[in-house]
A and B are shown apart, each in its own frame.
Chain A
Amino acid sequence: MVSHDDVKYVARLARLRVEEDDLEMYSGQLSSILNHIDKISELDLADVEPTSHVLKLSNIFREDVSRPGISKENALANGPSVENDAFRVPAILEG
């Protein structure tokens, strides 16, 4: 079971806010989904290798050649708050 506190904890980890009124809904739904997911525990997986990716690829390299990057104007074009050619954010350091 996913408790109200679990929902709050996970929401906090994910930088989401869940309203008090919605805690019951999310805890119920997440519990029912996880209950279904728990079916996996029926399987003996001790000797099975994990698959993170279906293509057997690793370390794709390319030549280290310089190429144009995006312009400052383009990079900032979609910023919701831009000032002095930079993204403006609330202060992250005390001072």
Chain B
Amino acid sequence: MNLLRLTAVEALKHMGEGTLSSVELTEAYLSQIARHDGDVSAYLKVTGDSARNEAAAIDAKKGDRAHLAGLPTAIKDVLCTEGITTTCASKILENYEPIYTATCVRQLMDAGIVTLGKTNMDEFAMGSSTENSAYGPTRNPWDLGRVPGGSSGGSAAAVAAGEAIWALGSDTGGSIRQPAAFCGVVGLKPTYGSVSRYGLIAFASSFDQVGPITKNVMDAALMMQFLVGKDPLDSTSVVYPSEIPLPVERDLSGIRMGIVKELVGEGIDPGVMTVFNEAVEKLKAAGAVIGEASLPHSEYALPAYYILAPAEASANLARFDGVRYGLRAGETNDITEMYEQTRSLGFGEEVKRRIMLGTYALSSGYYEAYYGQAQKVRTLIVQNFEQALEQFDLLISPTTPTTAFGLGEKTDDPLTMYKSDICTIPVNLAGLPAISIPAGLSEGLPVGFQIIGQAFTAPKLLQAAYSAELAFGFDKVSPLIEGRDQDGI
């Protein structure tokens, strides 16, 4: 049995039957981390000792097992974990030890997960390559010269490298789906409001949503069962309107899927389109009714997002002032001086850029021209999706315009970097759920296939994604796991 290839659902079955212990499973992942994370840098902190203790305690416990007992889990460092340093990949939070745990993490912990550690990310979740981490970039397990995507690049790389059985990410403009696509794993952004944001360090509060990064769709459904729920500590969270069952083997007969025509044209890499088109044929063969959908205002989504998200960020990040937590710089008697020195030393370039962009868009004289107009564009995008989803059950597109790009390739030009999220950002403006599943390889690199659903219909989305996954038959894993096969684990 190759423990690194087991999915969460399979591992639970083996552990439940007593053919696998939590300690064995956790040790397999910790040894993979020891072997490869020096190269991959998926983790900012590995909590090996406490993981071993947690696993041993689960094995020692008599009676019924908790639902997720013993699953070695990676947590994006944007989520607060009591007593475990949480940096958000920023220098300004270098030594920050939260005094509470994020609700979504707490729910998984209560269900029995083993915490392997905290994963690398773009600082404050701002970025698409994990190169904006103050602690150095994460590398793509498929090709160490390439980025894993971002901002949840560490979580996606950890799952792809066999360094976690599954992971938590967060998605503001594509930060779960884009890295999942680049790393050949599954990533789900839930409907806004499904998962509590309490303890999620805020980037853009009207967009941020936590979700699973997993080896397959089944595991994403399993984790979702334990993530959703109304939390009194996040007043935008809601009672999920239905159960989220695990998907079952079924074809796609009668499911109407609309290819978003604006997201398959110009600007999408031909190699990505080839894999996408082949995948669409497989969906047709599985019974899906495929048509053409349109989001006529999608070209305005990126501009609107880059006003709204930085505007919200500029307000959210005002809290990092060197007073209550985090770094304080400067021996000065002037408080404004202290703020400026602290924030200039503590924030990286991209974070400063977005704070300035957001501050500019909200400043006197520009507010209506930028922020006010962008909010109206958001309305148009919401309406575009409503109309398209009247015609179709689900919308489909590539997750990203290219496969994983090289390290350093886009760092000099922020706008080019931003454009790697053109297929994912419209979804966040409308708050809808969307999943990325691997559809194939282009020149040896994974290509993600995005499926978008109506608000609060995770069961339908996950069922269709599961059927699509079966139709695609993608069973490749990164060389870091493939290599372990030859070791005969």
Seen from chain A, the residues whose Cβ lies within 8 Å of a Cβ on chain B are 2, 6-7, 10-11, 13-18, 26, 29-30, 32-34, 36-41, 43, 45, 48-55, 57, 60, 62, 70, 74-75, 77-81, 87, 89-92
Residues of A within 8 A of B302 (CB): 36
For the complex formed, measure the closest distance between the CB of A88 and the CB atoms of chain B, giving whole angstroms. 9
Q: Say whether B353 contacts A26, CB under 8 Å.
A: yes
The main secondary structure of chain B at its interface with chain A is helix
Choose the segment among B62-70, B210-218, B267-275, B336-344 that binds chain A (4+ C-beta atoms closer than 8 Å). Answer: B336-344
Whole-angstrom distance between the Cβ of B480 and the nearest chain A Cβ: 35
- Nearest CB to that of B329 among chain A residues? A80
Nearest CB in chain A to that of B355: its residue: A14
The contact of A17 among B236, B341, B414, by CB within 8 Å, is B341
* B97 touches A (CB below 8 Å): yes
Q: Is chain A's interface secondary structure helix, strand, loop, or mixed overall?
A: loop
Query: Beyond A40-B303, A90-B332, is A50–B378 a contact (Cβ under 8 Å)?
Result: yes
Contact (Cβ within 8 A) B97 A90: no
Does chain A have a CB within 8 A of B14? no
Q: Are A55 and B323 in contact (CB under 8 A)?
A: no
Closest to B193 in A: A55
CA distance A81 to B323 in the complex (A): 7
B443 interface residue, CB < 8 Å from A?
no
Interface size on B, residues (CB 8 A): 69
Give complex CA distance A16, B315 in Å. 13
Residue of B232, B303, B375, B379 touching A37 (CB-CB under 8 A):
B303
The answer to whether B360 touches A6 (Cβ under 8 A) is yes
B376 touches A48 (CB 8 A): yes
**A49 partner residues in chain B, CB cutoff 8 A:** 376, 379
For A37, what are the chain B residues with a Cβ–Cβ distance below 8 Å?
303, 306-307, 370
Complex Cα–Cα for A57 and B430 (A)? 15
Across the interface, name the chain B residue whose C-beta is closest to A48: B376
Partner of A36, one of B322, B356, B415: B415
Bound-state CA distance A18–B352 (Å) is 9
